[in-house]
Every structure is written in C-alpha cells, then in structure tokens.
C-alpha cells in the first residue's frame, strides 16, 4: 500500500483551479467517469502514493504520484445543486489534472 | 472504450445506494479472510483485485453479489500468478459439491 509522504514537488497547491482530463482509455483508472472534463479547485494535498494504474497489473507503481482532494461545485458536475454551497469532493492523481482558470 | 461496468456514479439508472446493514454469511466472512491473508502474504494488491473485477464480463459482473465478485477476482489473480490452475479450482469445487451438494 502506498503511504503519504511530504510532497515538496507537487504541481498544485490548495486553492488552485484545475480541470480533470477527459481521457477515455483502457486500464485500471481511479478517476471516475462523471468527473472527467470537469473544473474545480484543489482542496488539499493528500501526499505521494504508488500509482494504482501500474499496481493493478502487478507492476511496482513507481514513480509515485501526488494525490489531491479536489472540490467541485455540485452544479458544475450535475448541472444542478440542492444548495449553492454544496460540493463534490474527489481524490484525483496529479497526472489527471490540468491547470485551469 | 467508454465507462466500465463498475463506474456507475451519476448514471440516472444506477439506482439508489443500499444503505441498510445486513448480516454477513459465513462464506462472505471467509472470502474476506482469504482476501486479507493473500494481501498479508504479498500475493495480491487491492488494485489488482479491482482491475480483475473491472475486466470481468459485464453481464457476469452485474449478476454477482459483492463478495461473489471478490471470490471471482481472487480466482483470476491466483490463476494469473500461477499459484492455482483453473483445473485445480474446478476439481476441488466438484469435490465440495459431491460432499456438500450444490451451493
């Protein structure tokens, strides 16, 4: 199991706007379909973990990837929101994120 | 490709999330124990188990219960890693069925 360590080299910091890549490829992917292509912001940096996309096939999971807690407005994900401040929070690896405005 | 059979979040026909507690059967507890033991011995990782479930035939996946999927993934990984063969598993299963009847 990968363990969190400090991540001085993380590409994003809390508050940064990010867009989830819309990739449609085979393999074991932890980024749920419903969040691909959506824009949100970094809520928290979880740390660096072995890459599950590699571990899933019996490989070593290296290099480690930075995992973030990313927040999205409910309305931006589902098109509507029960309350204006409702959020969707998803754990997403750095290689699935692009900077956004 | 499109989304996998396991990735149903947000689908309009995904149905409500079953939130009630239920009693586990003995075989479900055993499935968990086997899973834990294989993990502790470094034979499989959670990510491999997830991948095995994702690669299953979609109809089979949907027809299976949660722990049935676990067992199926354990079987896939053990065969993949040449720890057991499909023949060995099927033979043992036939022995159990003879002794205890159909599951």
Establish if B51 touches chain A: CB-CB under 8 angstroms.
Answer: yes
Decide if B48 and A33 are in contact by the 8 Å CB cutoff: no
Kindly list the residues from chain A whose CB atom is less than 8 angstroms away from the CB atom of residue B47.
Answer: 28, 52, 55-56
Decide if A26 and B48 are in contact by the 8 Å CB cutoff: no
Residue A3 falls within a domain, yes or no? no
Q: In which band, very low, low, confident or very high, does the pLDDT at B103 lie, cut at 50, 70 and 90? A: low
What is the ipTM score, two decimals?
A: 0.87
What pLDDT score does A1 carry?
46
Q: How does pLDDT run across B48-95, given as a tens digit for each residue?
A: 999 999 999 999 999 999 999 999 999 999 999 999 999 999 999 999
Residue A39 falls within a domain, yes or no? yes
For residues A38 and A20, the answer to whether their CB atoms sit within 8 Å is: yes
Establish if B42 touches chain A: CB-CB under 8 angstroms.
Answer: no
CATH of B26-100, one of 1.10.1740.10, 1.10.357.10, 2.40.110.10, 1.10.472.20: 1.10.472.20
d(CA B11, CA B7): 9
Which tops the pLDDT comparison, A1 or A80?
A80
- A30: DSSP letter: -
Q: In which band, very low, low, confident or very high, does the pLDDT at B18 lie, cut at 50, 70 and 90? A: confident
First to last CA, chain A: 34
d(CA B77, CA A92): 26
Residue A94 falls within a domain, yes or no? yes
Q: Report helix angle B66-80 to B26-40, nearest 10.
A: 40
Which B positions 12-41 lie with beta carbon below 8 A of chain A?
Answer: none
Kindly list the residues from chain B whose CB atom is less than 8 angstroms away from the CB atom of residue A1.
Answer: 45-46
Q: How does pLDDT run across A53-98, given as a tens digit for each residue?
A: 999 999 999 999 999 999 999 999 998 888 889 999 999 999 999 9
Residue A6 falls within a domain, yes or no? no
- Give phi and psi for A35, each to the nearest 5: -105, -10
In chain A, the number of structural domains is 1
Residue of B nearest to A23 (CA): B2
Identify whether A63 is preceded by a cis peptide bond (ω within 30 of 0): yes
Residue ranges of the domains in chain B? 26-100
């Amino acid at each position: 199991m990968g363990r969190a360590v400090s991540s001085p080299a993380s590409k994003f910091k809390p508050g940064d706007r990010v867009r989830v890549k819309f990739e449609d490829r085979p393999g074991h992917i932890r980024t749920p379909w419903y969040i691909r292509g959506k824009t949100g912001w970094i809520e928290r940096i979880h740390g660096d973990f072995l890459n599950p996309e590699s571990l899933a096939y019996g490989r070593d999971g290296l290099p480690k990837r930075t995992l973030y807690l990313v927040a999205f407005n409910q309305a931006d994900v589902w098109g509507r929101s029960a309350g204006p401040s409702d959020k969707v929070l998803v754990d997403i690896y750095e290689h699935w994120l692009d900077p956004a405005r | 490709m499109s989304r996998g059979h396991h990735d149903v979040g947000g689908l309009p026909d995904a149905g409500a999330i079953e939130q009630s507690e239920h009693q586990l059967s003995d075989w479900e507890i055993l499935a968990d124990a086997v899973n834990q033991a294989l993990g502790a011995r470094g034979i499989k990782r959670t990510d491999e188990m997830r991948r095995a479930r994702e690669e299953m035939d979609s109809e089979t996946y949907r027809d299976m219960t949660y722990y049935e999927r676990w067992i199926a993934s354990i079987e896939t990984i053990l065969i993949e890693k040449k720890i057991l063969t499909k023949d060995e598993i099927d033979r043992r299963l036939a022995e159990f069925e003879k002794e205890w009847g159909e599951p």
